Chain A
């Protein structure tokens, strides 16, 4: 027989599964396209173990390469026999439910510990279930669960939660019995392994030790065998202070690494840090007061803080965070859960929302941090209204309903790419990325549509969107290139096309972003497909400007080689540019294949083989083995 507490969590899990249902049909988005669609290494048959090995290594994101996540994508591809968005998202949903279950276990265990016992000891399961339910049903997590590539975040959290479970299991025993040194070492090793596994899913999984230190401080009070261990306490303080000191020194002492790190970003480290003060408040508001009208896939419309008073909210945010931290510290004994909740939120955000030069804001960054806030919120409700259980129930039901309804609406929005893109643009009209996403979706729909009327309608709307982007950001390279492409291919009769000149100005001024690179590839295909002509765009000028601005970028040289080879059909120029690309970066593997293309076109098999030898020579992790082998016929094996 199922107990009441088990039944309640099962109902929550089922409800969550149902509400996410509509969104499972949605498209692959943004980085998912890079990590999955444009990544042939995960699109495997699964018959060779080497395919799996290479899939492990196939991510270029993050310093650890996220191999576990990539392996899960490859497995998903093999099972689905293709890039079936539904199955990929279904796995994400199961991971979300699994994480919810693990969270529930952790909370049940945690709530039985001393800091909450004297107040609400008899309601531990109810609190745990409420926190889990609100976390599972929170509409903010749509952009983690239905944004396929964020399985990385989900897996990292799963290993973190497993680590917390393990820690709680042993730590509770050590409250009364002192652990033997070997046992202690064994558990430390287990936790280290889980931390490593979490880090190999996504780097913020490496925060597990700091989360454990939080639990130690707030829930175990450094007690071992009933006595307070000073050495443990100091070790925990050191664990927190040391990274803070190191990061502060890293920021204060001028260093080349920091400058290089932020190259290619439109903000400095100080601007990022001050903007994050405001963004963290924004995140907090989204968690506490879920409102899907302010949520969205892109948040590039958030204004950068250029100084403490630009905008003024920067200073206010900074002061309010400092105030909150001080209050949390002072209240750590009286209201430990509330202090814990603030600390958890900040610690869990410490990698993605501080010095690392990532983009400013993404909702999925709250997947783990939101646990702390929701936990604090629910415990707060129980604590404040402990005399009126009905009011507590009513509040929780209202919150639950609010989350569920918004989750369902958002999930439905995410079920269709055009609908999602329109909603994003509607709620974030100043977001260039949302507008671009909308325009791009329309363009793709137009190109694949068989209905001429609809095609024309989509195409015109798309063009309007891109023009809107240029109005917001005249230097938007991707939008300018797309306009050149659209006008050349679909609207050749339109007069007065300033895009080419604007593009030439933009490449001379603006930071060159990854999406800009893809757009230039589009331009090459436009030329090689015969749609674009030299009067539509001066590609040579554009690429030469970029090469002179970024002489260390091999991919730009490679792009020029492609232009020479595919558009101008000048193989000497193509070979020379490809050689330059490989000289700049011998580890730019793609360049070797481009080079081989030219030699094969010239019929120089000996030179092709030499390029293969060079590629193998550079391929330290043997990522290219399968591709290299496929260059030879079976007779050559």
Chain B
């Protein structure tokens, strides 16, 4: 099947890619955010050591599969481009444009399969809406979300290859072509899954495609008598693989264990997600950029069906939509409407259902958005087909719509170009977001305004509660950033606060503080005094043991202070908790060498040699060990 005016629409598509790049370009200069530092810090220190590269690619802990494809892209970028956050974002933008090509192509194939006239115009609309949707800005300009981008890219490619194969199942090369196509589909699904786990959802999406678009139809002159059976089998296998994978994760407790550290339980998450999915849908179709951003941690949790009442409304609305779409499944438009909605829901099913992730993130819409925009444009094309004289009206409406998307995206991308604009805008619409307030406190501290920084910090405490130690550590960090002296009263408060060290944010704050001290970022702090304070609070007078992270940071700080005896004590304490931690062992090896503790040194060396022989040491660690042998 061929589309009309394809050349013109391809030229327009090229123009669209240029406009998208133009819209996003200011945002390229923006800052890194949240998870970026955790995931990309080690890569930023990378040199061309092969062993270390292997470790970076395959030992990421963001998901159960480690996301090696995405990590490999960061590593390759570091080796060949190495332009920091700017480079990360340029690559993300390039992936966005490439994925936009996939969106155009897939939409074109699907509209042609459905027999629409003006398929290429429709594909252009879908691609325009998807490329310029302001909701997707926070995927492209948030470096670490390359994971979601790559996963979407390969998922769409899998769908596209499947489509191409289904349109011409045997073609010139007969069964070889079929086998190759299926192999490519599986490869794409694998790459998508290894980019981010929700790439696996491309399998159910293929099933949806088959059920609602191709409908197990065969081309009579080409198909073998068993062809339809193969299709059923493929759909069955795809569904089974997904179920087995999710089942395995469930058995391993991956879905339930995480709720311990969350403010919500499984049921509350599911109820809240019903509302959030509507919110996503509205933001995809009628975006309100003021409400967008990465700081959505102020989203109210549904504690019951009527708390808030919109929970019940959202659930009923979803059921109504699904039931009514089933009613209309006999018409082409009805089927496409079901496809569109189920695509959206299926693509959201991993991140917006049972897994105890945070509730709301815009980047989760990167793949689901395709379903919605495809459905909307299918409606437009159906109207156009039925009432050709409405063409100017429909084209005008779409142009205005896309113009509005461009307007909104431009504003959003520009806000993402500067950390002050980004955080202050977030604070404007999310004044109750603990994260936005935390970021604001840091910005004020960096400018030397400790008074307002502490005000924001106090607000964070009021919003999120939690152990006092966490908030004191944040205040200490703010004093450091602002270059202000810490008063005796604050020190007393810090010393007397209830000991509750097993808190992620507290550990994060201590780590940041130590890093700043070492890098000379705390002009008003004496590293020795801070080390003594930490010793008193976290070690000497504490009933409760400090966490491993705090201990290792204390060791690093004492190493900086030149107090190797203390550093060794903390490292040793850490090793009591995590005896097989190689980094800590190497650290202790260094301390024991400096302190001439030959006996301890020999024991550590022996242990490390044993690890080396069992292949647990990467190349860099092996080099370090060699220095002491």
Main secondary structure of the interface of A (DSSP, over half): helix
Interface string of B383-426 (1 = CB under 8 A from A): 00001011011001100100000110011011101111100110
Query: A622–B415 contact, CB under 8 A?
Result: yes
Residues of chain A from 603 to 637 with CB closer than 8 A to chain B in the complex: 605-610, 612-613, 616-617, 620, 622, 625-626, 628-629, 632, 634, 636-637
B438 to chain A, nearest CB (A): 14
Q: Which residues of B contact A625 (CB under 8 A)?
A: 411, 414-415, 421
Interface string of B174-207 (1 = CB under 8 A from A): 0000000000000000000000000000000000
Task: Indicate whether B26 reaches chain A with its CB closer than 8 angstroms.
Answer: yes
Shortest Cβ distance from B453 into A: residue? A606
Query: A617–B447 contact, CB under 8 A?
Result: no
Give the complex CA separation of A49 and B425 in angstroms: 19
Query: B420–A612 contact, CB under 8 A?
Result: yes
Which of A53, A190, A612 is B424 in contact with, Cβ under 8 Å? A612
B405 to chain A, nearest CB (A): 12
Task: Indicate whether A186 reaches chain B with its CB closer than 8 angstroms.
Answer: yes
- Given known pairs A49-B23, A609-B447, A613-B424, the reply for A622 and B411 (CB within 8 Å) is yes
Task: Indicate whether B440 reaches chain A with its CB closer than 8 angstroms.
Answer: yes
Residues of chain A from 418 to 470 with CB closer than 8 A to chain B in the complex: none
Q: Which residues of B contact A52 (CB under 8 A)?
A: 410
Query: A193–B396 contact, CB under 8 A?
Result: yes
Query: A50–B420 contact, CB under 8 A?
Result: no
Interface string of B20-63 (1 = CB under 8 A from A): 00110110011100000000000000000000000000000000
Task: Indicate whether A535 reaches chain B with its CB closer than 8 angstroms.
Answer: no
Q: Which residues of A contact B387 (CB under 8 A)?
A: 180, 182-183, 186
Which of B411, B440, B451, B452 is A50 in contact with, Cβ under 8 Å? B411
Task: Indicate whether B448 reaches chain A with its CB closer than 8 angstroms.
Answer: yes
Give the complex CA separation of A610 and B445 in angstroms: 11
- Given known pairs A617-B427, A625-B421, the reply for A610 and B29 (CB within 8 Å) is no
Q: Which residues of B contact A186 (CB under 8 A)?
A: 387, 389-390, 392-393
- Given known pairs A610-B449, A622-B425, the reply for A50 and B31 (CB within 8 Å) is no
Query: A183–B290 contact, CB under 8 A?
Result: no
Task: Indicate whether A189 reaches chain B with its CB closer than 8 angstroms.
Answer: yes
- Given known pairs A183-B390, A193-B396, the reply for A632 and B449 (CB within 8 Å) is no
Which of A49, A193, A613, A634 is B410 in contact with, Cβ under 8 Å? A49
- Given known pairs A49-B23, A183-B389, the reply for A632 and B420 (CB within 8 Å) is yes
Give the complex CA separation of A67 and B482 in angstroms: 43
Give the complex CA separation of A48 and B450 in angstroms: 35
Interface string of A548-584 (1 = CB under 8 A from B): 0000000000000000000000000000000000000
Give the complex CA separation of A626 and B392 in angstroms: 36
Shortest Cβ distance from B456 into A: residue? A613
Task: Indicate whether B443 reaches chain A with its CB closer than 8 angstroms.
Answer: yes
Shortest Cβ distance from A625 into B: residue? B414
A579 to chain B, nearest CB (A): 15
Query: B410–A609 contact, CB under 8 A?
Result: no
Shortest Cβ distance from B393 into A: residue? A186
Interface string of A187-230 (1 = CB under 8 A from B): 10110010000000000000000000000000000000000000
Give the complex CA separation of A183 and B482 in angstroms: 66
Interface string of B432-454 (1 = CB under 8 A from A): 00000000100110011111100
Query: A636–B393 contact, CB under 8 A?
Result: no
Q: Which residues of B contact A608 (CB under 8 A)?
A: 447
A537 to chain B, nearest CB (A): 39
Q: Which residues of A contact B428 (CB under 8 A)?
A: 616-617
Which of A50, A610, A622, A629 is B444 in contact with, Cβ under 8 Å? A610
Query: B393–A190 contact, CB under 8 A?
Result: yes
Query: B30–A637 contact, CB under 8 A?
Result: yes
Residues of chain A from 1 to 59 with CB closer than 8 A to chain B in the complex: 48-50, 52-53, 56
Give the complex CA separation of A52 and B444 in angstroms: 31
Give the complex CA separation of A606 and B444 in angstroms: 6
Query: A616–B414 contact, CB under 8 A?
Result: no
Shortest Cβ distance from B30 into A: residue? A637
A130 to chain B, nearest CB (A): 32
Interface string of B280-302 (1 = CB under 8 A from A): 00000000001000000000000
Q: Which residues of A contact B415 (CB under 8 A)?
A: 622, 625
Which of B400, B420, B447 is A605 in contact with, Cβ under 8 Å? B447
Shortest Cβ distance from A617 into B: residue? B428
Q: Which residues of B contact A189 (CB under 8 A)?
A: 393, 397
- Given known pairs A628-B421, A636-B419, A637-B30, the reply for A606 and B449 (CB within 8 Å) is yes
Give the complex CA separation of A610 and B420 in angstroms: 11
A606 to chain B, nearest CB (A): 2
Give the complex CA separation of A187 and B290 in angstroms: 34
Which size class do B's interface residues fall under?
35 or more
B233 to chain A, nearest CB (A): 45
Query: B418–A613 contact, CB under 8 A?
Result: no
Give the complex CA separation of A357 and B285 in angstroms: 39
Which size class do A's interface residues fall under?
20 to 34
Give the complex CA separation of A189 and B392 in angstroms: 10
Which of A193, A606, A616, A626 is B452 in contact with, Cβ under 8 Å? A606
Shortest Cβ distance from A615 into B: residue? B424
Query: B393–A616 contact, CB under 8 A?
Result: no
Q: Which residues of A contact B392 (CB under 8 A)?
A: 186, 190
Query: B449–A609 contact, CB under 8 A?
Result: yes
- Given known pairs A50-B411, A637-B30, the reply for A609 and B417 (CB within 8 Å) is no
Query: A637–B444 contact, CB under 8 A?
Result: no
- Given known pairs A48-B414, A637-B29, the reply for A609 and B390 (CB within 8 Å) is no
Which of A606, A626, A628, A636 has the most CB atoms of chain B within a 10 A radius of its CB?
A: A606
Give the complex CA separation of A234 and B450 in angstroms: 69
B614 to chain A, nearest CB (A): 46
Query: A53–B407 contact, CB under 8 A?
Result: yes
Query: B411–A637 contact, CB under 8 A?
Result: no
Shortest Cβ distance from B448 into A: residue? A606
Query: A637–B417 contact, CB under 8 A?
Result: yes
Which of A52, A607, A625 has the most CB atoms of chain B within a 10 A radius of its CB?
A: A625
Give the complex CA separation of A637 and B84 in angstroms: 13
Query: A609–B420 contact, CB under 8 A?
Result: yes
B385 to chain A, nearest CB (A): 13
Which of A183, A617, A636 is B418 in contact with, Cβ under 8 Å? A636
Give the complex CA separation of A609 and B22 in angstroms: 29
Q: Which residues of A contact B452 (CB under 8 A)?
A: 606, 610
Q: Which residues of A contact B420 (CB under 8 A)?
A: 609, 612-613, 616, 628-629, 632, 636
Give the complex CA separation of A180 and B387 in angstroms: 10
Give the complex CA separation of A189 and B383 in angstroms: 15
- Given known pairs A613-B424, A616-B424, A616-B425, the reply for A629 and B449 (CB within 8 Å) is no
B383 to chain A, nearest CB (A): 8
Interface string of A457-496 (1 = CB under 8 A from B): 0000000000000000000000000000000000000000
- Given known pairs A190-B393, A606-B452, A613-B424, the reply for A620 and B290 (CB within 8 Å) is yes
A75 to chain B, nearest CB (A): 15
Shortest Cβ distance from A194 into B: residue? B396
Q: Which residues of A contact B443 (CB under 8 A)?
A: 609
Residues of A within 8 A of B (CB): 48-50, 52-53, 56, 180, 182-183, 186-187, 189-190, 193, 605-610, 612-613, 616-617, 620, 622, 625-626, 628-629, 632, 634, 636-637
Can you name 22 A-B pairs with beta carbons within 8 Å?
A49-B410, A50-B26, A180-B387, A190-B393, A605-B447, A605-B448, A606-B447, A606-B450, A606-B482, A607-B449, A608-B447, A610-B452, A613-B440, A616-B421, A616-B424, A622-B415, A622-B425, A625-B414, A629-B414, A634-B29, A637-B31, A637-B418
Top 9 closest A-B pairs, CB basis? Answer: A606-B449, A616-B424, A50-B414, A186-B393, A186-B390, A49-B410, A609-B447, A617-B428, A629-B418
Residues of B within 8 A of A (CB): 19, 22-23, 25-26, 29-31, 290, 387, 389-390, 392-393, 396-397, 400, 406-407, 410-411, 413-415, 417-421, 424-425, 427-428, 440, 443-444, 447-452, 482
In addition to A186-B393, A190-B393, 5 A-B residue pairs with Cβ atoms within 8 Å of each other are A53-B407, A193-B393, A636-B419, A637-B31, A637-B417
